[in-house]
Amino acid sequence: MRTRRRRRGSKLTTVNETSAGGLAIDPERECAVLIGRLDRSGTLLWSLPKGHIEPGETPEQTAVREVKEETGISAEVLMPLGTIDYWFVAEHKRVHKTVHHFLLAAVGGELSDADVEVTEVAWVPFADLQHKLAYADERELAGKALELIEAAKARLTPRSSDEAGD
């Protein structure tokens, strides 16, 4: 969804954009799928898959669609991770972008970088996410996701009879 407005005295039109995406994981293999895009200098930057919300879509539906389009992986939303809000200038416009991120579980598909906007895709071990992700806000969300995954694993791990107080 995009909206435009012009500020008085400003030479640039402000455009509001809303996107969605997230961290799609394979919990059994303890890895997540990331996309790599080349920046203007030719450096490969790894990030979470995401894209614009289409008319009639919910952010959750967009996250599932974008993960599939950009990585080839089919996924289901597990929970919201948070929202990243930032500004940038593109095509003589000030863009205010809001991105809704979700934790998703991979349920099928084949890893593919068929999307023209994506240079590479890769399964990245959980332990490598913090140094692989290019953007601090996404590293923070990935850290939150890993904490949630660890907490869930701890709840699902059977305790021995000594720990249970038997």
Note the pLDDT tens digit of each residue in 81-137: 999 999 999 889 999 999 999 999 999 999 998 888 899 999 999 999 999 999 999
What single string gives the DSSP state of each residue in 122-138? EEEEGGGHHHHBS-HHH
Asked whether residue 148 carries a pLDDT value surpassing 80, the answer given is: yes
Q: Identify the CA nearest to 86 among candidates 46, 135, 121.
A: 135
Q: What is the number of alpha carbons within 13 Å of residue 76 lying toward its C-beta?
A: 4
Strand ranges for the chain from DSSP E: 2-6, 13-26, 31-38, 44-47, 50-52, 73-90, 93-109, 120-125
Distance CA 91, CA 114 (A): 26
Tell me the pLDDT band of 157, cut-offs 50, 70 and 90: confident
pTM for this prediction: 0.84
Q: Which residue has the higher pLDDT, 3 or 29?
A: 29
Please state the domain extents for the chain.
2-156
117 token code pair: 């906007």
145-149 average pLDDT score: 94
Alpha carbons 62 and 144: distance in angstroms, whole number: 21
Q: Name the average pLDDT for the chain.
A: 91
What's the confidence (pLDDT) of residue 165? 53
CATH placement of domain 2-156: 3.90.79.10
Chain-centroid distance of CA 113 in Å reads 16
pLDDT at 46 over 80: yes
